[in-house]
Amino acid sequence: MSILVYAEHDNASIKGATLNTVTAAKAIGGDIHVLVAGQGCQAAADAAAKIDGVAKVLVADNAAYGHQLAENISALVAELGKGYSHILAPATTNGKNFLPRVAALLDVNQISEISRVVSADTFERPIYAGNAIATVQSTDAIKVLTVRPTGFDAAAATGGSAAVEAVSVVADAGKSTFVGEELAKSDRPELAGAKIVVSGGRGMGNGENFSILYSLADKLGAAVGASRAAVDAGFVPNDMQVGQTGKVVAPQLYVAVGISGAIQHLAGMKKADFIIAINKDKDAPIGEIADVLVVADVMQFVPAMTARCAR
């Protein structure tokens, strides 16, 4: 039994979600090979070779893979994946984009966002906004799985010494062209992997009021998120959304400010180790899962909290 793990990377380094996916592969059992596809990605491949538990790193370094176009990546993974029992990718925006195409090309089912490995053919995944867990068994010859990073601990990024092997497959479908991208730049940690997250909801009132959350986050070294209600209201951009249709986070500390606690939001953050909710409504649903519920006016309490925080 052998497993192909698709690596998330920036050509220079491996993203944390890949380490969680390797842990899921370890739970399945068998030889683990990591595929690094990109342009000028040798440094990322070298980093992948150091991941504990990885037996081999495949490097597909070509302009066709430079911008992670789903049509090209899916064709590459499907071609290489024919020789594996399992194909895994993190359940990130990129993984969710190309892996269903891989499953279609291989004529198998995909199991999405697994959070636990029961056996080599049986997996658990959240359903109903995380309020129930489905146990799914696959009889497909090749199991195609996206892995929810928050469901698995990260594998050690060092300690491995995998062989690195170049892949000659060039899959350019010619169906899409990279035009450009706009990347949000911030000195704060990446939301999905942050140890501390401060999130705001509709109770913030408007986008300008998020400035008090940014000040608190800077004191705590935290990432800033938001509920879907805040995003839909135009307070903040959608890349800050935490929840079922946004990013799933599992930080050590989650501070929910002016968030009522809709089920869709809870699905994205309820695995946080410690939750502080600040809300003027003492009966807000988020109070049911919060470790600490502060009933207060957020516009008064948060600046006071920030002033008491030492950095």
- The fold of the 191-308 domain, in CATH, is Rossmann fold (3.40.50)
Instruction: Give the sheet arrangement for strand 116-119, strand by strand.
Output: 116-119, 122-127, 132-137
- pLDDT above 90 (res 134): yes
For the whole model, what pTM was predicted?
A: 0.83
pLDDT band, residue 285 (cuts 50/70/90): very high
Cα 36 to Cα 149: distance, rounded to the nearest angstrom: 18
Cα 231 to Cα 238: distance, rounded to the nearest angstrom: 6
- Phi, psi dihedral angles at 94 (to 5 degrees): -70, -45
CA end-to-end span of the chain, whole Å?
49
Cα 148 to Cα 137: distance, rounded to the nearest angstrom: 17
Helices (H), the chain: 16-28, 42-49, 70-81, 93-106, 211-220, 228-232, 263-269, 298-308
Options 3.40.640.10, 3.40.309.10, 3.30.70.260, 3.40.50.620; CATH for 2-166 is: 3.40.50.620
210-258, pLDDT tens digit by residue?
Answer: 999 999 999 999 999 999 999 999 999 998 999 988 899 999 999 999 9
Work out the average pLDDT over 266-283.
94
Domain spans in the chain, listed from the N-terminal domain onward:
2-166, 191-308
Q: Is the dihedral angle over the CA atoms 296, 297, 302, 303 positive or is it negative?
A: negative
- pLDDT above 80 (res 152): yes
- pLDDT above 90 (res 178): no
